[in-house]
Amino acid sequence: MAPPPIFLPISATGPGKATILSVSLLQVVAVSPVFIFENIKRRQEEEQRNQQKTAEVQLQTDSFIQAKLPDFWASLIECAEADVKRANDTLPNVECALRSKTETSIWLQRKSALPLKGLRLVLNLRGHAINVLLDSEADSMGNPAGTARVEIPVSLITETGRHGSHQALSFWYEGKEYRKAAPLCQALLTFLYAD
């Protein structure tokens, strides 16, 4: 059954006069309204599936980071403690100390050679980041010269190699990517050692 005709004014030939042309809906629109609504519904369902897939991937990413970040953090802290001990033994005029350490934070301080400096690292497991506070004191009285706050975001990458691919954590600090704790630790501790 053909759709009912619609009437469109084509032109006006005088006051109050218009030529009306009867046109079938199929001539004006090549698709039926049912097709249009089905198409809209199909697009909405596709968008919903895409959103669901994105949410699933994000959940997997979050779960992986939540599982791996504490181990990376433990390695980072271990490296920091060992590096500070090594620096105290080998660098003249630099005496660093571990001021405090908790499960999710560490505070290191250079207590000799002005300016005094402090490095605080805080694990932000929910935010998938390591928060860094770089404290600098201008003199031995502890007058602050300033504190810089930096967030090192954690992301998930896929590494491919001879034995296939695997997922790993990636950290960006001062424009460089770090995937291992020791190099990131060394980059962070250069703040304490530099004059």
Look at residue 65 in the predicted model and tell me its pLDDT: 87
H or E element: which one contains 84?
A: helix 33-90
Instruction: Determine the Cα–Cα distance for residues 182 and 134; give it in Å rounded to an integer.
Output: 19
| Cβ-proximal residues to 105 (8 Å cutoff; 6+ apart), any chain | 120, 121, 122, 123
pLDDT per 10-residue tile (average), the chain, 195 residues: 53 50 47 74 90 86 87 92 86 77 86 77 88 76 71 86 84 91 90 76
H or E element: which one contains 2?
A: none
Length of the chain, please?
A: 195
Convert the pLDDT of each residue in 149-170 to its tens digit. Answer: 889 998 888 878 788 888 889 9
Question: Cβ(108)–Cβ(119) under 8 Å?
Answer: yes
Torsion-angle region of 171 (φ positive above 0: left; ψ -120 to 50: alpha; else: beta): beta
Residue span of the structural domain in which 104 resides: 68-193
Look at residue 26 in the predicted model and tell me its pLDDT: 45
> Degrees (nearest 5) of the Cα angle 60, 66, 70?
150
Look at residue 178 in the predicted model and tell me its pLDDT: 93
Specify if 157 maps to a domain: yes
Specify if 110 maps to a domain: yes
Domain total of the chain = 1
Specify if 179 maps to a domain: yes
